[in-house]
Amino acid sequence: MFGPLMINTWIAATAVAVIAGMTGFFAVLRGSTFAAHAIPNGAFAGAAGASLLGLNPFAGLAVFSLAGALGIAGLSRRARSDVATALTFVMMLGIGALFVSWSTGYAQEAYSLLFGEVFGISADQVRPILVLGALSVAAIGVMFRPLMFSSVLPEIAEARGVRARRMELAFLLIMALATSMTVPVVGALLMFSLMIGPAAAARSVTARPALAMTLSVAIALVTVWAAIAISYRSDWPLGFFVGVIGAGFFLLGRAYAAIARSARTAAARPAA
């Protein structure tokens, strides 16, 4: 399980979990989980297009995830953000369907883009993941305070000169960057599971931002490591375990929050 063939898998998966934990934290905090679903999934159309033209799928993913981020941000200026996201997303998938229908014998490759191909990843593939991952982490590090501010208190942030629109765009662009790196590894569908489950679990345990984000990364790491180990042993798909373990952590977090709340109420009213 820890042999030379698997070492790249562990490195790549760890990088993906760190970045998913961080971006997912903001996605959950801002309530923009739909964008977290739409950008990775829609970007898959770009990979389909790139393979049709014989280009590197990374390029296609990058172009389409950026286009998705810009589309969502652009349409959100004058429309509800969930509607903007939905329409950008279906348009990207519609184009993806067209690309797929044009190419021949693509189904297997598409499957691996949607569900990932984390086993058997090569050293060449790991390098761009690490570079893009470091970039995303750095971007989040630089923007942590204003992003946090505009996510939690948008009105006050706006009054203090933090432009909500610009922050939204910045957030979506980071999501796009993270996406073009992670989709070839874990797949579009799993990137989403890995972003939401751990971050939502962390959020229900603590409200302190730095702690919640650290916890979100930690849970994402545990989720992906456990999923790889079980998947390696059982031969069942990684995605299944990532999805189920992530949701399990969320339920645990919610249970913990409920117990903590009832303990607090009991402490506040000792007579009752």
Partner 1 sequence: MSIVNILRHIIEPGFFGSGPVHIALAVGTVIAITSAVTGVFTVTRGQSFAGHSLADISTTGGSGAFLIGVNQFWGYLAFGAGAAAFMEMIGIQRRRGRDVATGVVLGAALGLAALFLYLGTQYSTTTGATFTILFGSIFVITPSTVPALIVSALLALAVVVALARVLLLTSLSPDIAAARGVPVRAVGAAFLMALAVSVALSAMIIGAVLSTALLIGPAATALRITKGPVRAPAVAAGIGVAATWLGILLAYDSYYWPPAGRGWPVSFFVVTLIVGGYLVSYLRRPAARAEPVPDAEHACSAL
Q: Per the structure block, which two tokens stand in for 193?
A: 């599971």
Phi, psi of 69 (to 5 degrees): -60, -45
Contact 84, 75 (CB under 8 A): yes
Binding mask 79-118 toward partner 1 (x if CB under 8 A, else -) reads: xx-xx-xxx-xxx-xxx-xx-xxxxx--xx-xx--xx---
Residue 193 binds partner 1 (CB under 8 A): yes
Q: Which of the stretches 3-11, 155-163, 174-182, 185-193 binds partner 1 when contact is defined by CB under 8 A?
A: 185-193
Among residue numbers 223 through 262, which ones bind partner 1 (CB under 8 A)? 236-244, 246-247, 250, 254
Measure the CA–CA gap between 162 and 155, rounded to whole angstroms: 9
Q: Would you say how long the chain is, in residues?
A: 272
Q: Choose which of 78, 124, 159, 269 interacts with partner 1 (CB under 8 A).
A: 78
Question: Six-digit token pair at 263?
Answer: 């303990």
Q: Residue 26: name the closest of 217, 254, 256 by CA.
A: 217
Check binding of 171 to partner 1 (CB under 8 A): no
Of the two residues 6 and 247, which places its CB atom closer to partner 1 in the complex?
Answer: 247
Alpha-carbon distance 75 to 93, whole Å?
Answer: 17
Comparison of 104 and 122: residue with beta carbon closer to partner 1: 104
Query: Which of residues 115 and 144 has its CB atom nearest to partner 1 in the complex?
Result: 115
Applying CB under 8 A, does 32 fall inside the site for partner 1? yes
Burial-class residue 3 by CB neighbours within 10 Å (0-12, 13-18, 19+). exposed
The one segment of 24-32, 57-65, 134-142, 206-214 that binds partner 1 by CB under 8 A: 24-32
Read off the DSSP letter of residue 104.
Answer: S
Whole-number Cα distances in Å, 201 to 17, 111, 209, 259: 15, 29, 13, 14
Q: Does 119 bind partner 1 (CB under 8 A)?
A: no
User: And the tokens for 162?
Assistant: 């933090």
Verify binding: residue 59, partner 1, rule CB under 8 A: no
Please report, as ranges, the residues that interact with partner 1 according to CB under 8 A: 28, 31-34, 36-37, 75-80, 82-83, 85-87, 89-91, 93-95, 97-98, 100-104, 107-108, 110-111, 114-115, 189-190, 192-193, 196-197, 200, 203, 236-244, 246-247, 250, 254
